Structure 1
């Protein structure tokens, strides 16, 4: 008899969801302070931005090595190793007296976050049954989002009570330490879920494209990348456009608010409402994907975000620009929430069951690259063209991604 979904997800809490929440909570508390720490170390505004970007660069650089590590030592040991390295990087922060050491510590945090995330992703791709995989992965994404959402508030509380940023750094260190202990001494997920038949979840039937034979357990990252190059070039490119839209909204909405003359408090409120709508829908997204198929979540999400960016670009000179900004920010939040967990789920669908980590390393590199490129592209276009043009360009990227998903995504949610 199949194990109930709620019971299965509850068993994942101490080994998957709890560590994810703690890791994100510490990281979320630190991120708003990075520019301030860089400025105190002697950086100007431009250099502070580069130091802050070291987190994203670390995540981008960490995915492929993480795929190799998980394939070699397994999911649990990869999480332990990456947790220890992240803890070592965090311990550098109180002693980071110059910009180079600070940037290195931030880079290590991002690098290890990639390894930690890929290990969880690989485990879920291997052990979670297909018929509720999207809900399990949406809950994983929701755990991370909740930590990132709550972290800045915890950081602000610690700053207000202590008056110094070191309290936030030690909070990050404590979160990482508890995460490592939880993963190390808690139940081993690979043994805990070893018994019991699992339905085949290899990606061939769910990809909507013709995949070659699955790689064996000894095949490495680069050979796997070559073997699955067609899928990565098609659906991987489509997935990177979704990542690009998600990252763009974090830049476009605050800058657009400034462009139409809103104050910082109003902009923060609007962005916060958008984020709350996004977070509120994460589990509903998993239900849609499991019941109706992945396409029914991603296409509405992509279309809503694309047209919201295009519409936003038209409203800058209107008398009702503020009302449109509020409404379209809410639409973008809802749209992003509808695709919560989609990239994790689609990567798990496509990954070979026998050895998912090398494929997922390549998959996550593409999605991270899309997220890293979008803010740079928007900022570059805004520097040489009106901000409306740069905003509309994000919408055009979204429409291209919608076409790519329609062209290469499967039409059925289950195995045919």
Structure 2
């Protein structure tokens, strides 16, 4: 009963987050050419960050609850692939809109997409059935019922104590060690679209060409995410993370060595291969390390590493570009990625993630 309630709460939270997307998109569309448009755009971006977190945590927790451990990597990869479908369709539609309409049309499209998300969640098909797996709150629910029954039989002289939140049974040293590599992965992922746009503008590409390049990369990621699911299951999580970060680094280096359209296509393709292989690796590792009781609470803590990378990525890139140059900023992002790969390799034994099977 409690698991169904938690799923309903997650659906309501996702609907609220989608409503924020709608409001932010419409406001940005109406004020895109106003005197304070930069401030409005900044506020809209700040609103999109918690919206993304709510969506990611809600669906990750649901998948981790209902899927057996043998199929967890495949399920998380498919979940990561669903985001890549949006990354493919969104830029393609955005490129078409910008060829016909002003740029505000893209914000209107974002608002419409948020409205469609709310409608989809309201459909009966969006209700996830109970597959009979044990849920993270099952033990806590049983324990609370037993405590209530004992208190009832003991009489009024010994009132039942309020239920206490269970302590998370987590290997925190492993969480911190692998979390550092997750930060580097998120830095590379969050910097990727920023770098593509900045470098594309610097070599004279049109806005629609840059949007199509991003869509091309998202489409290629969808192809390689199936191979990534196989690697996660048969070679292990560490091997997947190392391959993702190493190939990512090669893409950033290729971008600065070939400053033209062909070089952009090659570098975006290389980064898409790396990112596709790592589709869902962050969510899979988080589910591997999460306890059975208090899983949703742990995943909220685990998201700190991902959010830290999202914040550090564009911020560090901007700082490096301001101090040195755009070229050095791109190379620095590649250095961060390879540092994360080396780090997780060094501490792989202490982390103890599922490996070859």
Instruction: Give the C-alpha shift of residue 166 in structure 1.
Output: 5.9
Does the C-alpha gap of structure 1 residues 44 and 187 become closer, same or farther in structure 2, counting only changes over 3 Å? closer
- 1:117-158 superposed Cα distances (whole Å, 9 cap, x missing partner): 323212322332222211111111112322343245567889
| Contact preservation (8 Å) 2:188, 2:337 | yes
Is 1:43 paired with 2:45? Answer: no
Task: Write the distance in 2 (CA, Å) between the matches of 1:154 and 1:23.
Answer: 25
Give the CA RMSD over aligned residues.
4.1
| Contact preservation (8 Å) 1:28, 1:149 | no
1:272 alignment partner in structure 2: 215
Does the C-alpha gap of structure 1 residues 375 and 196 become closer, same or farther in structure 2, counting only changes over 3 Å? closer
1:132 alignment partner in structure 2: 71
Is 1:358 paired with 2:297? Answer: yes
From 235, 244, 253, give the equivalent of 1:301: 244
Task: Write the distance in 2 (CA, Å) between the matches of 1:30 and 1:157.
Answer: 23
1:55 alignment partner in structure 2: 47
1:255 alignment partner in structure 2: 198
From 318, 323, 347, give the equivalent of 1:408: 347
- 1:74-107 superposed Cα distances (whole Å, 9 cap, x missing partner): xxxxxxxxxxxxxxxxxxxxxxxxxxxxxxxxxx
Find the structure with the greater CA-based Rg: 2
Is 1:150 paired with 2:89? Answer: yes
TM-score after normalising by structure 1: 0.64
| Contact preservation (8 Å) 1:240, 1:369 | yes
3-state SS, counterpart of residue 32 of structure 2:
helix
Task: Write the distance in 1 (CA, Å) between the matches of 2:16 and 2:248.
Answer: 29
Task: Write the distance in 2 (CA, Å) between the matches of 1:149 and 1:322.
Answer: 19
From 202, 209, 233, give the equivalent of 2:176: 233
Instruction: Give the C-alpha shift of residue 391 in structure 1.
Output: 0.9
Where in structure 1 are there 5+ consecutive unaligned residues? 1-14, 59-109, 198-216
- 1:322-363 superposed Cα distances (whole Å, 9 cap, x missing partner): 432321111011111010010010100011122211111111
- 1:38-63 superposed Cα distances (whole Å, 9 cap, x missing partner): 43565233x244123213542xxxxx
What is the number of equivalent residue pairs in this alignment? 317
Does the C-alpha gap of structure 1 residues 304 and 166 become closer, same or farther in structure 2, counting only changes over 3 Å? closer
Task: Write the distance in 2 (CA, Å) between the matches of 1:367 and 1:412.
Answer: 18
From 212, 228, 252, give the equivalent of 1:285: 228
1:71 alignment partner in structure 2: none
Task: Write the distance in 1 (CA, Å) between the matches of 2:96 and 2:27.
Answer: 17
| Contact preservation (8 Å) 2:186, 2:309 | yes
1:194 alignment partner in structure 2: 132
3-state SS, counterpart of residue 244 of structure 2:
helix
- 1:301-337 superposed Cα distances (whole Å, 9 cap, x missing partner): 1111113223433444xxxx44323211110111110
| Contact preservation (8 Å) 1:24, 1:145 | no
Where in structure 2 are there 5+ consecutive unaligned residues? 1-7, 136-162
| Contact preservation (8 Å) 1:29, 1:155 | no
Does the C-alpha gap of structure 1 residues 353 and 279 become closer, same or farther in structure 2, counting only changes over 3 Å? same
| Contact preservation (8 Å) 1:282, 1:337 | yes
Is 1:175 paired with 2:117? Answer: yes
Instruction: Give the C-alpha shift of residue 407 in structure 1.
Output: 2.3
2:186 alignment partner in structure 1: 243
